[in-house]
Amino acid sequence: MNNPDLLVILQSHNIHDNQKVMKIVEEKTQRYVGEPKNVISEVCTKSLAHALKMLRQKYENASIRFHAIDDHSTEDFTDHLESLVQDLNANGIKASWETLSGRGIHASCLAQYTYGKTHGRDLVYFVQDDYLYYPDALIKMVETYTGFGMISNKPLCMFPFNDPFRYILENTAVKCHLFQGEDRYWKTSIHAACCIMTHHSVLETEWDLFEAFCDHMVDDYMELDTINRLFIERNYILLIPVPSLAL
């Protein structure tokens, strides 16, 4: 790979935390680490910015762009977002942000996907503000995407988090394949959140599923009924790193 082209689009909202207490192996645990959402949002977006700068350092001539769509966060967070955008621009990453015209997860997702469909050229990565990234996460994702391109005649999809809550009986009964990467394995899966990296052409070809996600009521089937049909019905391959590149 010489010059990857990557557009990263962030959804952010630092006020409300809609994550429930989850249950795994008979233990109840907070999905977040006990910190307020505003702390989570700031720390996680800093980690994403750092991963972007690491990618820039390795690929000096790459086209790397970042755009944030903020859903009416507090002023201290939008100040943080403005500083983050300025820092990325100073490091050779074309960065910008805007305030969401509507409110809520549906409007935010639709704005994010629409921006990717309109402005994407090659790889497009949809992210949210509560994923904590390893510094080399984007390097590994972009390089693996290119290196594993031959395993499918369709564009690949990637989700950076090997979610432990997906290891329930009904999911482990689903066959998966393992591919050996440079420093970790990558497994196929049929479960992703809305935060996936894929090729811009997938947005154009499969737009009905992205649009359906933005219309779906918020429940446990939100991804299953929409985005995950890419992998269940439409023969796209979703790759997840083992171990994770983001948490």
- Give the pair of three-digit tokens for residue 123: 């790889």
The predicted structure's pLDDT at residue 105: 87
User: Which of the 8 DSSP states describes residue 227?
Assistant: T
The predicted structure's pLDDT at residue 65: 98
* Residues 39, 32: Cα–Cα separation, whole Å: 11
The predicted structure's pLDDT at residue 219: 87
pTM: 0.92
What are the φ/ψ torsions at residue 99 (nearest 5 degrees)? -90, 130
Please give the C-alpha separations between residue 63 and each of 3, 96, 115, in angstroms, as whole numbers.
7, 15, 17
pLDDT in tens, 54-92: 999 999 999 999 999 999 999 999 999 999 999 999 999
* Residues 119, 117: Cα–Cα separation, whole Å: 6
The predicted structure's pLDDT at residue 51: 98
- Give the pair of three-digit tokens for residue 209: 């599923």
Does the structure show a pLDDT above 70 at 22? no
* Residues 57, 233: Cα–Cα separation, whole Å: 38
pLDDT in tens, 171-185: 667 788 999 999 999
Whether 160 and 194 have beta carbons less than 8 Å apart is answered as no
